[in-house]
């Protein structure tokens, strides 16, 4: 009976420690569950953001392609204006080309392609720093040496 009383006293003394340990384990369990939920939510958010990033990257690439196509059309249009326009139109077009070059929408090769063989070639080549060896020869048909097989009248 004394042994039972001793064991009962030990159990009574040990009970607060057990309750404290139980509460700590319960707290850690709840904390772990909360962290697992938060982790799952974050994983869903990462997946959603990854998908959004992929969509935005695709949209960005499409917009870049569209801008390139528009710039290509503008280059073609400017070249046509420099070839067939009157002097005021050519002056206005030259100013626009310079502005596009300054804004880095056109590079040196673009300016070369647009202006080569036009009356504004020298001005635009100088402005964009196009090497002179790329310039069109200024000789006309009458200045060219006549072919041996050509007959003059």
Structural domain boundaries in the chain: 2-134
Examine the pLDDT at 141 and tell me if it is beyond 90.
no
Residue 139 is predicted with a pLDDT of: 52
Residue 138 is predicted with a pLDDT of: 63
Cβ–Cβ under 8 Å, residues 136 and 114 = no
Confidence of residue 28 (pLDDT cuts 50, 70, 90): confident
Give the mean pLDDT of the chain: 88
Place of tokens 């804004």: 103
Please state whether the predicted TM-score (pTM) of the whole model is above 0.75. Answer: no
Residue 146 is predicted with a pLDDT of: 45
């Amino acid at each position: 009976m004394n042994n039972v009383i001793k064991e009962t006293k030990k159990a009574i003394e040990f009970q607060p420690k057990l309750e404290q340990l139980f509460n700590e384990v319960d707290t850690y369990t709840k904390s772990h569950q909360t962290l697992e939920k938060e982790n799952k939510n974050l994983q869903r958010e990462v997946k959603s953001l990854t998908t959004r990033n992929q969509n935005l990257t695709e949209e960005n690439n499409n917009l870049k392609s569209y801008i390139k196509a528009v710039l290509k059309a503008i280059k073609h249009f400017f070249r046509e204006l420099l070839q067939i326009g009157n002097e005021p139109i050519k002056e206005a077009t030259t100013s626009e080309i310079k502005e596009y070059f300054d804004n880095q929408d056109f590079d040196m090769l673009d300016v070369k392609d647009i202006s080569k063989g036009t009356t504004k070639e020298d001005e635009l080549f100088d402005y964009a720093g196009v090497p002179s060896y790329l310039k069109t020869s200024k000789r006309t048909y009458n200045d060219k040496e006549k072919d041996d097989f050509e007959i003059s009248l």
